[in-house]
């Protein structure tokens, strides 16, 4: 091979996202909408491009159609390359058998030949379901400076929350001496972000050994990392201090969207030095008619606002008709809220219609119970959907 890449990325994007319930009935979690105009996967893909990593394997499995179509040839992220670029990597049939990805480590193992095509020195492994901006090149420089064989990105969390995460216990210089998976009594607050850099040849060795172990769960957190520590592999924690959100639950997804609002948002997507790229449909500009009210909200292209929108995020081609009110909610592409209808503390998925005088999130006064409505549904006239309900079929009068 005439060319090689110093570092390539492998993006794990096959998760079902079962805790997002109706929002992932037909799509993988990384394809779930976020921030009015994005998909969750836009963030790790944009991070790769902004970090000058131009070769990305995207490992898909659960409901991959929309995700595959969305990524396409990678052009929106400047990943349509002759050598490198973005590649969709689903499970496939081998000569002897067909195997679904059995765990994170097995997913990478099944694609070792893809990695070896580029003969990289380092392999960056990412999750496709987190919201954050991160320069992976800085992490790689840290990895090389430490002479590390494996580096794990960590973020400091509240000690009260630490038992929800995989915790990396370190020495003063950042070297990891112990990994605890969701410990009842955590020794530190260094939570793993599920972002790893490995020396490629060492990674191959451990993946092959893990695959040969019939008792392994084929998982990085449960098997590969503990085995490396047991063998004395030089492993360091890379401290990340920016915004990071695991959007694996309805409440965390809603919170992450609300973090985009306000004069000084908790997460800034308007940073010109770190652009977030996405694939966008060719809709015309949004229209806000005379008499409409919009306050502290993000509204994207093609939308028509005739009613009231407060503290909410609206996707493309959304319609809020006269007398309709939307508060503290997320409306995905193509949603229509008709005359006199009200939406409070809710997430409504693509192309759903809420008809006249219906009320989604009826009586909701805070975000403790977010109402979720699946895509392509009809909520009929005068229907009242209570806070926290999960609606997955049409609701008639």
The residue-averaged pLDDT of 255-263 equals: 97
Is the pLDDT at 254 greater than 70? The verdict is yes
Q: What token pair was written down for 24? A: 């992932």
- The region that residue 37 occupies, defined by phi over 0 for left and psi between -120 and 50 for alpha, beta otherwise, is alpha
Average predicted confidence (pLDDT) for the chain: 93
The residue-averaged pLDDT of 240-254 equals: 94
The residue-averaged pLDDT of 365-378 equals: 96
Question: What pLDDT score was predicted for residue 381?
Answer: 96
Question: What pLDDT score was predicted for residue 66?
Answer: 87
Question: What pLDDT score was predicted for residue 76?
Answer: 92
Is the pLDDT at 370 greater than 70? The verdict is yes
Is the pLDDT at 2 greater than 60? The verdict is no
Question: Of 309, 311, 194, 305, whose CA–CA distance to 255 is shortest?
Answer: 311
In which band, very low, low, confident or very high, does the pLDDT at 369 lie, cut at 50, 70 and 90? very high
The residue-averaged pLDDT of 94-116 equals: 83
Question: Who contacts 351 (Cβ-Cβ below 8 Å, separation ≥6)?
Answer: 333, 334, 335, 375, 376
Is the pLDDT at 94 greater than 70? The verdict is no
Q: How far apart are the first and last CA of the chain?
A: 65
Q: What token pair was written down for 147? A: 């002479």
For tokens 């993988």, name the residue. 28
In which band, very low, low, confident or very high, does the pLDDT at 179 lie, cut at 50, 70 and 90? very high
Task: Return d(Cα 391, Cα 189) in angstroms, integer.
Answer: 37
Task: Return d(Cα 150, Cα 317) in angstroms, integer.
Answer: 45
Is the pLDDT at 383 greater than 80? The verdict is yes
In which band, very low, low, confident or very high, does the pLDDT at 82 lie, cut at 50, 70 and 90? confident
Q: Helix (H, G, I), strand (E, B), or coil: what is residue 119? A: coil
Question: What pLDDT score was predicted for residue 136?
Answer: 98
The residue-averaged pLDDT of 343-347 equals: 98
Report strand pairing: 359-360 vs 384-385. parallel
Cα distances (angstroms) measured from residue 6 to each of 137, 159, 282: 11, 37, 36
The residue-averaged pLDDT of 38-67 equals: 93
Question: Of 144, 125, 161, 134, whose CA–CA distance to 240 is shortest?
Answer: 134
For a pLDDT cut of 70, what percent of the chain falls above it? 98
Task: Yes or no: say if 245 and 131 are a contact pair by the CB < 8 Å rule.
Answer: yes
For a pLDDT cut of 90, what percent of the chain falls above it? 84
In which band, very low, low, confident or very high, does the pLDDT at 93 lie, cut at 50, 70 and 90? low
Question: What pLDDT score was predicted for residue 61?
Answer: 84
Question: What pLDDT score was predicted for residue 97?
Answer: 60
Is the pLDDT at 1 greater than 60? The verdict is no
The residue-averaged pLDDT of 387-393 equals: 96
Claim: this prediction has a pTM higher than 0.85: yes
């Amino acid at each position: 091979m005439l060319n090689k890449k110093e570092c390539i990325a492998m993006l794990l994007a096959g998760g079902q996202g079962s805790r997002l319930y109706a929002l992932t009935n037909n799509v993988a979690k990384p394809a779930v909408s976020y921030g009015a105009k994005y998909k969750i996967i836009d963030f790790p893909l944009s991070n790769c491009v902004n970090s000058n990593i131009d070769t990305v394997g995207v490992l898909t499995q659960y409901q991959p159609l929309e995700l595959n179509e969305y990524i396409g040839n990678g052009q929106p992220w400047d990943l349509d390359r002759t050598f490198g670029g973005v590649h969709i990597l689903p499970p496939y049939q081998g000569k002897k058998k067909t195997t679904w990805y059995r765990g994170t480590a097995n997913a990478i193992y099944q694609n070792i030949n893809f990695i070896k095509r580029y003969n990289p020195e380092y392999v960056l492994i990412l999750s496709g379901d987190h919201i954050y901006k991160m320069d992976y090149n800085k992490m790689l420089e840290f990895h090389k400076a430490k002479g590390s064989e494996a580096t794990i990105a960590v973020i400091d969390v509240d000690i009260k929350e630490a038992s929800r995460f995989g915790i990396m216990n370190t020495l003063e210089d950042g070297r990891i001496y112990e990994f605890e998976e969701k410990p009842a009594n955590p020794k530190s607050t260094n939570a793993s972000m599920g972002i790893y850099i490995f020396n490629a040849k060492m990674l191959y060795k451990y993946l092959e050994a893990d695959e040969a172990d019939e008792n392994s769960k084929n998982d990085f957190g449960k098997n590969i990392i503990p085995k490396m520590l047991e063998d004395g592999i030089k492993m360091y924690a890379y401290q990340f201090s920016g915004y990071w959100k695991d959007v694996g639950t309805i409440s965390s997804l809603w919170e992450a969207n609300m973090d985009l609002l306000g004069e000084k948002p908790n997460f800034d997507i308007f940073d010109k030095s770190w652009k977030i790229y996405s694939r966008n449909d060719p809709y015309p500009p949004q229209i806000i008619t005379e008499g409409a009210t919009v306050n502290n909200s993000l509204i994207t292209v093609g939308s028509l606002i005739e009613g009231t929108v407060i503290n909410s995020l609206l996707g493309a081609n959304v319609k809020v008709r006269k007398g309709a009110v939307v508060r503290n909610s997320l409306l995905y592409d193509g949603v229509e809220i008709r005359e006199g209808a009200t939406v409070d503390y809710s997430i409504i998925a693509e192309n759903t219609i809420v008809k006249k005088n219906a009320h989604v999130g009826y009586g909701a006064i805070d975000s403790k119970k977010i109402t979720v409505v699946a895509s392509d549904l009809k909520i009929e006239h005068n229907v009242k959907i209570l806070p926290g309900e999960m609606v997955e079929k049409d609701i008639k009068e």
